[in-house]
Every structure is written in C-alpha cells, then in structure tokens.
Amino acid sequence: MQVQQRGSALADVFRRELSAEPGGVWAAPGRVNLLGEHTDYNDGWVLPAAIDREVLAAVRLRDDGVFRCRSLDLPGTVTTTADGLGPGRASGWSAYVLGVVWALREAGLDVPGVDVLLSSDVPAGAGLSSSAALEAAVCLALVDLSSAPGGPALLDRTAMATVCRRAETDVVGAPVGIMDQTASLRGRAGSALLLDCRSLQVQHVALDLAARGLTLLVLDTRVHHAHATGEYAARRTACDQAAAALGVPALRDATEDDVETRLTGELQRCARHVVTEDDRVLRVVDALAAGDLDEVGRLFAASHASMRDDFRISCPELDTAVAASVSAGAVAARMTGGGFGGCAVALVPRGAE
C-alpha cells in the first residue's frame, strides 16, 4: 500500500478510535547503512540511505497535560502525564514516543499534551532503524504542530535528529550514535547520505544504481537484535576506553599505526574496526562516483570481515546471507546495522533479486 493510502487509513482509525481529528499524519523512513558501522558514536563517517519503508504518526496536540500513544502494530495504549516523562519513567515501545516528547520539552518546545497513533512497515529488530523512524515521525509532527502556521519550523532537521538521539540515549537507554535519526530526517530519494558525525555536515551522494543495472537488496535474517542490550553497549565502552588509552577525543582521531602499536586485545580489535571502517566509508564514496564496482565490492567485503572478526558483531545467519549473495552474483554484500542479527545488504544485477 502506498504511503498516502496508509496515511489516509491511519487518519481514519484515529478519528474512529479517538473521536477527534488528527492535526495531520507524518512519515519518516527507515534506513539501510551502505557502509560505516559503529563509527557514528566514534565521531566518524557513515553512508546510510533512506529506504521505502516508513513509520507513520497521526498526531494531535492536547491542552490538558495528557500524553497518550498507541500503535497499530504493538499491543497496548499508554497514557501518562508530565510526571511520566523523562529517564527511567517509560518502558517498551512507548519510551521512544514519550522520550521524544520529553527531549523536545527539554529543548524548549512547549508540548502541553498529545495523542499519537502509529503504524509502521519498517521491520522491527532488523537493523533498519525502525526506532529512529518512529522518533523522527513523532518529532516532525510535534515540531510542525508547535510552529507558527506559515512560519519556519522551530527546530531544523539537524536539531531534530539531536533531539531524537537524546530520546533514545537518555530515555530508552540505548547508547546509539546520531546516524539513524539523521538518515531518517535528512535522506533523499536516489541518494546516500555521507554524514560527518562530528560536525553533522552531510553530503548527498548520488546512488543511481538503475543506470548501472543494479538493485539495492536488503536481506532480513529474522534474527532480531536490540540496541538497549548489553553487547552493543559493551562495544561502545570498549571504543571509549580505546580512545582514552590513545589520548584522542574519539577513535576518528586515531591512526592504524596507533592502534597496532599501542593497543592490545579487545581494545585493539574494536579500535582497528572503527579506524579502518572510517577509511572504507570515504573510499567507497569515491568508488561510487567513479563507477568502480569492483572496488565497492572489495570494500564491502573488507567491512564485513572487520565486523565479523574484529568487532565480532556478525552471526552465522548474516555470514551465510552475505556469502550466498556473493555466490549468486552480487557485486557487493555485507551485514548492515548494529549487528547481532538483523539484515545484510547487497548490490545485485537487476532481475536477479
């Protein structure tokens, strides 16, 4: 179903179930990361692209201090007041919605109350950023509804991405970087997004795969993961410790020589992945611009090996999906997302999907 049809259907459910008119319906896409895993929270570079799967949010403001959210895809309706907002006060899927409300209020946006009804076709737990798309859709809605009609938005999209990230780190408790929220809020059709996670500057990189006879294929292993669990946090802690041991602000500032000569064990493995992955992101942008698909394939393969062997976030299902894709003729393939399950991504000849 097209996003416009889904939005109209969601608005109808809102009217029927809440006996009220929504202020509108907002959409935000999931994303697939072409290259650059676990580099975002190390101040590095990433290359995500928005996908054609979205979270929709039908939203209206309330003036009675009540915050109510429901999802058509997940059980339960959560209703709370301002006392229920903030770190440690929400759990489950509603923490993403209420986290955005709290982070916007912390940023100075007056959100007196809200009704939110959600619908999503972004697979949850697949490494396609369903949570960031949810946050982005809700944030877009609340900023639009709170801004003066016909005037500029109270927050630009980079500021919104920062708000959404704070919701996930402080309220949900997932120590994520800012890639997912930025990709959902600033992605463009037909382009990947080169994001400098330190400066937050973006460059839209043309991704005209059709002209090269290729399709971007996402393969869902159905092995689900969650960023709020311990393994993801443990990798981030190791990266922070490695940067501290090297005396640099973040691993973005380290060199391969630093890593190989001054670190050992787990810290060395994690740092080596981040430093080499940053380099691969910049090199793949050049390779895409030059149409050098052989180099793209080599960089994807090196990235997957690094995540499997150094960062140790792959799994047998992801390794199998990548190997099968290459055997079947994919130009390039690798796991994508935070790891421990989720999806692989492959560039395959059109018609071979």
185-to-35, 59, 86, 168 alpha-carbon distances in Å: 18, 18, 23, 15
Q: Which of 294, 296, 292 is nearest to 284 (CA)?
A: 296
180 in Cβ contact with 191 (< 8 Å)? no
Of 169, 106, 158, 108, residue with least CA distance to 136: 158
The residue annotated as part of the active site, out of 40, 43, 115, 180, is 180
- CB neighbourhood size of 18 (10 A): 15
Q: What angle do CA 314, 320, 321 make, to 5 degrees?
A: 90
Q: How far apart are CA 115 and CA 1, in angstroms?
A: 24
Strands 67-71 and 114-120: parallel
Yes or no: say if 135 and 164 are a contact pair by the CB < 8 Å rule. Answer: yes
Q: Answer positive or negative: Cα dihedral of 33, 1, 132, 312.
A: negative
C-alpha dihedral, 316 to 311 to 31 to 349, nearest 10°: -60
For residues 138 and 130, what is the distance between their CA atoms, to the nearest angstrom? 12
Dist. CA 18–CA 334, nearest whole Å? 44
In the residue annotation, 63 being an active-site residue is answered as: no
Residues recognised as catalytic:
180
